[in-house]
Amino acid sequence: MLSVVEGLLIFIAVGESVLGVLGNGFIGLVNCIDCVKNKKFSVLGLILTGLATSRIFLIWIIITDGFIKIFSPQMYFSGNLIECISYAWLIISHLSIWFATSLSIFYFLKIANFSHHMFLWLKHRINRVLPFLMGLMVISWLVIFPQVVRIINDYKMNARNTTWQLTIPKSEYFTYQILLNLGLIFLFTLFLITCILLIISLWRHNRHMQSNAVGVRDPSTEAHVKAMKVLISFIILFILHVIGIAIEIAHFTVPENKLLLIFGVTITDLYPCGHSFILILGNSKLKQGFLKVLQPLKCCGKEKPLRIPLTGLGRNGCSMRVIQ
């Protein structure tokens, strides 16, 4: 039987998931409609659509994994379920952070101002940078997948008639979790580097503007600030996401504490759900579409004025009816 706090956290997690699926679905839908109208996919549209799609799957994995651990841990640690969830998590989580890293690199190459020849070379070859990043992610999969498969197969063989949870040592379980998230560390590091370079570009640009006695923000400054809001919010939410994963892993040491697990799921789910709305507010096209969707809801929410018939006598003694 769940306590009131546990039930409240589950309700929050489910609410986050519903909003996250709707927000990410909206991003993907708007970009697909734009692609049909223009008969081509822009690089930014492709990144945003891929990011939204991967996050929808990530939300489902987080919620499914968490609910099975909460309500049926025996089923989770026996059979092939943990194997399927592990492989799905490995692919989808890497794809999600890959698209986020690609978005940061896109902003960096489009907005930043550097005169270095390497930056200029990459700026004119932005379409080649994304396949290069995809190659790095595939290489990380090739390194990580065999290790994960080996660990799962070893403990499936050793478990036999007992559950996987009871046979795997804690040190091996932590190693297994680190392997599952190893590729995320590299991609997130690359994301941080591009953010730092974008901040340096903004600082240099503002210093140049101040030296020229220009007090009003120019379009370049506005673009820098808007991109930094999106990227810094991602960093904050992703750190919370990692903390949530760590809490879920820590639950393995105290499996009887369901509150710790539910809290971890709620924190983990915050990143793929919350950042979608930050992307919507940070992109003019998505923001306009979102406001169009909300406009009918606002109209429905407004109360219609009362139409009360008022009857009286005019100057000539005839009845007069006024409709308000």
Domain CATH for 75 = 1.20.1070.10
Q: Structurally, how many domains does the chain consist of?
A: 1
pLDDT at 57: 94
pLDDT for residue 213? 56
What is residue 113's predicted lDDT score, i.e. its pLDDT? 81
Cβ contacts of residue 173 below 8 Å, gap of 6+? 249, 252
Pairwise CA distance, residues 116 & 147, whole Å: 40
Mean pLDDT of all residues in 86-99: 86
The answer to which of 50-64, 147-161, 272-286 has the lowest mean pLDDT is: 147-161
Distance CA 54, CA 84 (A): 17
pLDDT score of 11: 92
Q: Residue 23: which of 275, 267, 229, 230 has the closest Cα?
A: 275
Report the pLDDT averaged over residues 292-317: 56
**Range picked from 59-68, 116-125, 309-318 for highest mean pLDDT:** 59-68
Q: Is the pLDDT of residue 166 over 60?
A: no
Give the model's pLDDT for residue 170.
Answer: 64
Instruction: Identify the pLDDT of residue 14.
Output: 92
Picking from 179, 191, 10, 178, the residue whose alpha carbon sits closest to that of residue 96 is 191
Per-chain mean pLDDT for the chain: 78
Q: Grade residue 315 by pLDDT with cuts at 50, 70 and 90.
A: very low
What integer pLDDT is reported at residue 118 of this predicted model?
Answer: 82
**Range 73-77 average pLDDT:** 71
pLDDT at position 319: 42
The residue among 152, 224, 237, 219 whose CA lies nearest residue 194 is: 224
HSE-up of 244 (CA within 13 Å, CB side)? Answer: 21
Query: Residue 324 pLDDT more than 50?
Result: no
Domain span including residue 59: 4-323
pTM confidence score: 0.81
Strand partners, 74: none
Opening angle at CA 170, ends 165 and 174, nearest 5: 105
Q: What is the mean pLDDT of residues 255-276?
A: 88
Which residue would you say has higher pLDDT here, 12 or 180? 12
> Distance between CA 118 and CA 114 in Å, rounded?
9
pLDDT one-digit tens code per residue, 281-293: 888 888 888 888 7
Instruction: List, for residues 21-47, the tens digit of each pLDDT value.
Output: 999 999 999 988 888 888 777 888 888
Say if residue 295's pLDDT is above 50: yes
pLDDT mean over 124-135: 79
Across 81-102, average pLDDT:
85
